[in-house]
Amino acid sequence: MSEEKKETSKKPKSTARKIIEWVLTGLFLAIFAILGFAQIDGMVHKNDHYGQTLKFGYGTFVVETDSMVGAYNVGSAIVTHLDDPETIYKDFQKGKDVDVTFFDVYSAVTAYTSPVENTQLTTRTSPANYPITHRVKEIHINEDLKKGEGRYTFIVSGINQKSTNLGWQEGQPPITINQYQAFTEKQLLGRVVIGSAFLGGVFGFVSSVWGLLILLLIPAFFLIITSVIDIFKAYKDPEEAPAGNTPKKGEAGETKANSGVTELSEADKKRLKEQLLEEMLSKKKGDGK
C-alpha cells in the first residue's frame, strides 16, 4: 500500500476579521481616490480663483484675524462652497445671515454711503491680496452686466467691534469705525457652510506632516500586522493529515504512518491469515496425493 501524503492545515479567517480587512482596505482606497481627484480638480481651476484651491467647488480656510469673532474665533476652520451669486442674493433678501469668503484685490474702494447703516465705506490704499471672510450687508445688481462680469456687487463687513486689527484695546469702548469691503462675484470664493474651532484643530492636525502620515498609515499598518500574524501562524502550526476519507479504527483499509512504515489494519491481518491458512491446507492436500 502506498504511503499517505501529509498536507498542512490552515485555519480560515473569521468572518468578522475578513469584514474589517475589506472595510479598511476599501476605506483607504476610497479616501485616496477622492482626495486625488479633488486635488486634481482644484489644481486645474486654481488660476480661476486667484491661486486658491477649491476642490469640487469647496474650499477650506483657517481664520487668522478677529474681525468675525462671535461667529468664528481665531484658529477656527471654515468650509465654503462656491454658490451661485443669484442664490446668495435670494437668501440675503429673505433676511438670512450670509457669510462669504472673497479674495481682496482692489487697491481702493470708491466712497459709498451705505443706506443700511448710513456710513461710508472705508477707503484702502493697497489691496490685502488674501482671502477674507465677512458678513454680507448689501448686494447690488448691475443690470447692464452679465453674471461673471461684475453683475453682483457685494458689500461686506466684519462683525466684531472689539477687533484688535482695528486698534481696539482692553478697557476701551467698542470701535464704531466700519470694516466694509466691496467686491464682485468675480472675486467670490464661496459661501461659508461650516465653521468650528474643532474643525480647525482637526484641519491643523491633518495638514501637518505627522498627522497626514498617521491618517494614511493606520490602515496600512493594520494590513501589514495581520499579514505577519498569518505568516507566523502558518510557520508555527504543525502539519496535520487532511480530515475526511480516513478509515475508522478496525475497518478494512485502515493504515497508520509511523516512521515511514505502513501498518496493516486488524481486518487486513485477519484476511491475510485466512488466505495463508487456505494456501497451506491446499498445499498439504496436494502433497498427500
Q: Which of 83-92, 113-122, 208-217, 232-241 has the weakest average pLDDT?
A: 113-122
Range of weakest confidence among 53-67, 126-140, 192-206, 242-256: 242-256
pLDDT score of 162 more than 60: yes
Q: Burial code of 139-164, b = ≥16 C-beta within 10 A, e = fewer? A: beeeeeeeeeeebbbbbbbbbbbebe
Over the stretch 1-44, which tens digit does the pLDDT of each residue have?
A: 444 444 445 556 678 777 887 887 788 778 777 767 767 776 77
Q: How far is residue 175's CA from residue 169's CA, in Å, rounded to a whole number?
A: 10
Q: Which three cell numbers stand for residue 139?
A: 448686494
Q: How confident is the model at residue 84 (pLDDT cuts 50, 70, 90)?
A: very high
Q: DSSP characters for 203-264? A: HHHHHSHHHHHHHHHHHHHHHHHHHHHHHHHHHHSPPBPPSSSPPPTTSTT--EEETTEEE-
pLDDT given at position 89: 96
- One-letter amino acid at 70 equals G
- What local confidence, expressed as pLDDT, does residue 123 receive? 44
Q: pLDDT tens across 221-237, in order?
A: 777 887 777 777 777 76
Distance in angstroms (rounded) separating the CA atoms of residues 128 and 20: 50
Q: If pLDDT is split at 50, 70 and 90, which confidence band does 257 have?
A: very low
- In terms of pLDDT, which residue wins out, 22 or 112? 22
Reference 183, options 218, 139, 215, 224; nearest CA is 139
pLDDT at 101 over 90: yes
Q: What is the pTM of this model?
A: 0.58
Q: Decide which of 275 and 86 is more confident.
A: 86
